Structure 1
């Protein structure tokens, strides 16, 4: 999904400046504007959506930065700074970043659907780790995040759960339909398991040691017997835990270059929180869609 100006929301220069950079219309090329005007559109958070097609850092850098170090980068820098988003942080100003100064191995995050990844990614030897979450918890988390992200002058905190639920069910979302997004990486992981690892948030919470060991193996950095004996795995889990990261001062204050406050990315991190927000009717309807969209491909939550 891409974003541009909404007919429903007054768009003045001052309100544009309140938005994260990747949601602003300013800076779009004429070609991009022309393409977006031809695509199906629907009202989004503050503009229109147009239909178009933590732990990893600690694992990959554990030799130079032991998880027990008091000066570990994760204790003083936000995870989104250490693992920047391609489409939100690096390319947000329309400039091609210089990757030569990035430390090796280079780690990046992205919300792009698998079909939208450039050929330079799909045709390379780089590895993809996809982390997904139960659709119901994803929906509730998205609702809270949406209301935090909207600037005060554009209706902050005014998106109802019912409104967002309806959009989510119909596939209206900033990164495209949830079902298509998940299935894209799920299928890729089945077709090319050496390059694409599909992880579930719930399994990571339930079996952290097993899943992180699996992740380390996939990334080519398995834990040695010496590391296991010295508690390196448990050290990484403690360092990267939600409880630890969410309580660090660096993650309570500060803003990303793209405009988002660091504290917007931390809420509760619990499994099953949706039951405290969604009505029985919503849960039933959502479960029906989950079965229809995902179960036929062997993906269950």
Structure 2
């Protein structure tokens, strides 16, 4: 039975183990499910797929997150370039302060820009988010239609980065192998590829996810911006200027002459971030109370356009291209 969880009680991340177990069992029994990638199952909620850990955060965000008009939300499908986008956006907004470079010397970009759904796993999530000064820079992997209603009402800025699904799939598989969530062994490449093509992956279907933001950017260009990863790689400076303009923080001629734009591009480059001590060691936890974690170095693989050629067969690439053409071409979104 495909049941909307808005009718269920709020998912209490804190509380007795008995209550938490009861809520989890109710969720699992009420939703369609499929084989997970690193957990036993994915669960379908509002037409997208989540593992239980992620799902609990989604429901919490929908019920408790209060968006502000000044918020900036980086909203992406997993493994499309969010780490890079976080670093660039954080630097644009903090470029007038001394030492934004120092922030990345001691913190991973994901520690600088928190996920709203994984705030569910903080000790006091509502107060933690509420105490953040405006403008808040936040992130999410939620699809556009599943964003908390307060986001849509607030008129806040949303930036989405999209990427060729062939590179997305390869990056996801590399990341999955290093993610710690449960004791289940990771899914095989063959199983994951078939699942991905059928739309069953974390926050999948991929094409429906990015299409939601693409359509929103066409309908509300002042509030939603879509950046292509390939364009960001091709001309980083131009895309950073475009991003700054959208955020209402354009670079002045004086700032460009002083090399501030160039400094942001260099500081936030994947190679530079990868070589910083803060990203070479240590673990990133998805919330203080969460059992999910990943090595910080896992966020920095290669970041190259077309790396899929080293991992996918011709037949696999052609299949993904055919699905992409069928799903996206008529909407003007191409890679």
Give the TM-score taking structure 1 as reference length: 0.85
Conserved 8 A contact 2:166-2:308 = yes
- Pick the aligned partner of 1:37 from 9, 29, 38: 29
Distance (Å, rounded) in 1 between the aligned partners of 2:158 and 2:24: 27
Q: Which residue of the partner structure matches residue 217 of structure 2?
A: 189
Q: CA deviation at 1:134?
A: 0.6
Q: Does 1:264 align with 2:298?
A: yes
Structure 2 CA distance for partners of 1:116 and 1:235, relative to 1, 3 Å: same
Where 1:49 maps in the other structure, the secondary structure is: strand
4+ runs deviating over 6 angstroms: none
TM-superposition CA deviations, 1:151-200 (whole Å, max 9, x none): 69432xx5322111101000011112101100010000000000000001
Q: Which residue of the partner structure matches residue 52 of structure 1?
A: 45
Where 1:109 maps in the other structure, the secondary structure is: strand
Conserved 8 A contact 1:132-1:201 = yes
Q: Does 1:283 align with 2:317?
A: yes
Conserved 8 A contact 1:51-1:176 = no
Where 1:223 maps in the other structure, the secondary structure is: coil
Q: CA deviation at 1:235?
A: 0.4
Conserved 8 A contact 1:83-1:109 = yes
Q: CA deviation at 1:221?
A: 0.3
Q: Which residue of the partner structure matches residue 234 of structure 1?
A: 262
Where 1:91 maps in the other structure, the secondary structure is: helix
Conserved 8 A contact 1:60-1:105 = no
- Map 1:112-131 onto structure 2 (within 5 A): 112-131=142-161
Conserved 8 A contact 1:27-1:94 = no
Distance (Å, rounded) in 2 between the aligned partners of 1:109 and 1:41: 26
Where 1:51 maps in the other structure, the secondary structure is: strand
More strand by share: 2
Conserved 8 A contact 1:27-1:93 = no
TM-superposition CA deviations, 1:203-238 (whole Å, max 9, x none): 000011110000000001000111011011000001
Where 1:278 maps in the other structure, the secondary structure is: coil
Aligned residues: 272
Distance (Å, rounded) in 2 between the aligned partners of 1:100 and 1:93: 13
Where 1:123 maps in the other structure, the secondary structure is: helix
Distance (Å, rounded) in 1 between the aligned partners of 2:249 and 2:88: 13
Conserved 8 A contact 2:104-2:278 = no
TM-superposition CA deviations, 1:130-150 (whole Å, max 9, x none): 011111000100111111114
Give the TM-score taking structure 2 as reference length: 0.76
Q: CA deviation at 1:261?
A: 2.0
Structure 2 CA distance for partners of 1:73 and 1:150, relative to 1, 3 Å: closer
Q: Does 1:139 align with 2:131?
A: no
Unaligned runs of 5+ in 2: 1-12, 47-86, 287-292
Q: CA deviation at 1:291?
A: 0.8
Q: Which residue of the partner structure matches residue 84 of structure 1?
A: 114
Q: Which residue of the partner structure matches residue 11 of structure 1?
A: none
Q: Which residue of the partner structure matches residue 14 of structure 1?
A: none
Q: Which moved more, 1:36-45 or 1:26-35?
A: 26-35
How well do the aligned residues superpose, as a CA RMSD in angstroms? 2.1
Distance (Å, rounded) in 2 between the aligned partners of 1:287 and 1:94: 44
Where 2:251 maps in the other structure, the secondary structure is: coil
Q: Does 1:101 align with 2:131?
A: yes
Structure 2 CA distance for partners of 1:110 and 1:42, relative to 1, 3 Å: same
Q: Which moved more, 1:271-280 or 1:248-257?
A: 248-257
